[in-house]
Amino acid sequence: MKEKSTNLTIPHVNLPDASHVRFTKVSLKKNTEAHIYDNCLPANVFKEMQDILLGLNFPWYYNEGALYNEDTKYDPVKSPIKKYQDNVDVYQFTHLFFKQGGYAWSSYTENILPILNVLDARAWIRVKANLGPREPKHLVGGWHYDSSYNKNTPYNDTITAIFYMNNNNGYTLLETGDKIKNVENRLILFPCNVLHTGITQTDTKVRVALTFNYFGKDK
């Protein structure tokens, strides 16, 4: 991944103690960038979150597809990269913590407060956890914008953040061709107008990540 200083305003994150954090800036298309924070949370704080989300008592809900369920019709976006087409057989389990438009915060929200406090949003659009099962080969979950007016018209003033909860050989693929490996305690931020997809893992039983869409605070 090519690193480069750009003019895009990605919001700062709230890290009271950044001594344990490794920061990487990755240049993307149209003078935009992605910010990656490795070791984002203190190890003990992350381990407590991980134990809860990957534990036996955390509730997950089946989704027939990675981008749709029985109430949502599959309406694909054209793949921006050859040989990386959506696979409609990919499914996942989710837990919705919050969604703008009448959804109250989940009663389990207190378990993810450390990462919510790091992101320090001006306003939340959606907060969700995804759990994907192991597949025999790497499959494309589905190209999408996290926040959009319709499938081809994304918001231009919102942020996508992904926080990886376990190590596995799956990854997030951006339309630029950049691959963000699934490394536990890694946080990535990029503009919502960057098309992206999850790629399934072949090694671990599950791939768990938290996804956030929000309005960042002005610098």
Confidence band (pLDDT; 50, 70, 90) for 2? very low
**CATH label of the domain that carries residue 149:** 2.60.120.620
In a domain, 94, yes or no: yes
What is the reported pTM? 0.90
Q: Is the confidence at residue 10, as pLDDT, over 50?
A: yes
In a domain, 9, yes or no: no
Per-residue model confidence as pLDDT tens digits over 47-105: 999 999 999 999 999 998 776 545 556 667 889 998 999 888 899 999 999 999 878 99
In a domain, 200, yes or no: yes
Mean per-residue pLDDT over the chain, rounded: 88
User: Please, are residues 204 and 167 in contact by the beta-carbon 8 Å criterion?
Assistant: yes
Per-residue model confidence as pLDDT tens digits over 152-185: 667 778 999 999 999 999 999 999 999 999 999 9
In a domain, 13, yes or no: no
CB neighbour burial string for 140-179, b if at least 16 within 10 angstroms, e if fewer: bbbbbbbbbeeeeebbeebbbbbbbbbbbebbbbbbbebe
Scanning the structure block, which residue is given the tokens 């979950």? 141
Q: Name residues whose C-beta falls within 8 Å of residue 106's C-beta, 6 or more positions apart in sequence.
A: 95, 96, 97, 98
- Measure CA of the first residue to CA of the last residue in the chain; give whole Å: 26
Rg (CA), the chain: 16
In a domain, 153, yes or no: yes
Cα–Cα distance, 172 to 162 (Å, whole number): 9
If one counts the domains in the chain, the total is 1
Q: Is the confidence at residue 3, as pLDDT, over 50?
A: no
